[in-house]
Amino acid sequence: MDGVSFSIRARDKVGLVGRNGAGKTSLLKVLGGVADPFAGVVNRTGGLGYLPQDPRLDGVDDQIPAIRHILSGRGFDEAMTHIEKLRLQMEEDPSERAVERFARAEEQFRVDGGYSAESEALRIAAGLGLEADRLDLPVGALSGGQRRRVEIARILFAGSDVLLLDEPTNHLDSDAKDWLLGFMRSYRGALLVISHDLDLLDEAITRVLHLDRYDDASLGAMEEYKGTYTEYLANRAKDEIRLAKVAQRQAKEIDRLQTLVDRFGAKASKASMAHSIEKRIVRLEDTKVEVSKGNRSVHVKFPPPPPPGRLVLDGVGLAVRYGDNEVFRDVDFALERGERLLIMGLNGAGKTSLLRVLAAERPPEEGSFRLGHNVVAGYYAQEHEGIQAGRSILEHLREQVPHAADPDLRAIVGAMGLTGDKVHQDAGTLSGGEKTKLALAILVAGRHNLLLLDEPTNNLDPGSRRAVAEGLRGWPGSIVLVSHDADFVRDLEPNKVLLMPEGTLDHWAEGYLELVELA
DSSP 205: -
3-state secondary structure labels for all residues of 46-96:
CCEEEECCCCCCCCCCCCCEHHHHHHHHHCHHHHHHHHHHHHHHHHHCCCH
pLDDT of residue 269: 59
CA distance linking residue 10 with residue 144, whole number of Å: 32
CA distance linking residue 72 with residue 155, whole number of Å: 9
pLDDT of residue 250: 80
Q: Which of 198, 195, 163, 235 is nearest to 8 (CA)?
A: 163
Q: What is the mean pLDDT of each run of 10 residues along the chain (519 residues)?
A: 90 88 88 91 91 73 87 85 85 85 85 84 92 86 83 91 90 85 92 86 88 76 89 86 80 83 67 79 75 64 90 96 87 96 89 93 94 94 83 88 86 83 86 84 88 88 84 92 92 94 93 81
Residue 25 in 3-state DSSP? helix
Output the pTM of the full model. Answer: 0.72
CA distance linking residue 260 with residue 266, whole number of Å: 11
Superfamily in which the 311-516 domain is placed by CATH: P-loop containing nucleotide triphosphate hydrolases (3.40.50.300)
CA distance linking residue 220 with residue 18, whole number of Å: 10
Whether 130 and 66 have beta carbons less than 8 Å apart is answered as: yes
Domain formed by 13-230, architecture: 3-Layer(aba) Sandwich (3.40)
Q: 22-72 pLDDT, tens per residue? A: 888 889 999 999 899 999 999 998 889 999 887 766 567 778 889 999 998
pLDDT of residue 81: 82
CA distance linking residue 170 with residue 354, whole number of Å: 20
pLDDT of residue 267: 63
| Cβ atoms < 10 Å from Cβ of 297 | 11
Q: Which of 166, 216, 175 is nearest to 195 (CA)?
A: 166
Q: 417-438 pLDDT, tens per residue? A: 788 888 889 888 887 778 888 8
pLDDT of residue 296: 57
Q: Which of 479, 470, 472 is nearest to 337 (CA)?
A: 479
- Work out the angle at residue 493's Cα, subtended by the Cα atoms of residues 487 and 494, and round it to the nearest 5 degrees: 115
* Strand ranges across the sheet with 48-51: 48-51, 162-166, 190-194, 13-17, 207-212, 221-226
Whether 511 and 476 have beta carbons less than 8 Å apart is answered as: no
Q: Which of 166, 205, 210 is nearest to 187 (CA)?
A: 205
pLDDT of residue 124: 94
Q: Which residues contact 386 (CB under 8 A, 6 or more apart)?
A: 379, 439, 442
Shared fold status for 13-230 and 311-516: yes
pLDDT of residue 207: 92
Strands 366-371 and 340-344: unpaired
Write down the domain spans for the chain.
13-230, 231-286, 311-516
pLDDT of residue 408: 87
DSSP 270: G
pLDDT of residue 302: 83
- Work out the angle at residue 9's Cα, subtended by the Cα atoms of residues 7 and 10, and round it to the nearest 5 degrees: 165
- Work out the angle at residue 249's Cα, subtended by the Cα atoms of residues 248 and 250, and round it to the nearest 5 degrees: 90
CA distance linking residue 514 with residue 519, whole number of Å: 9
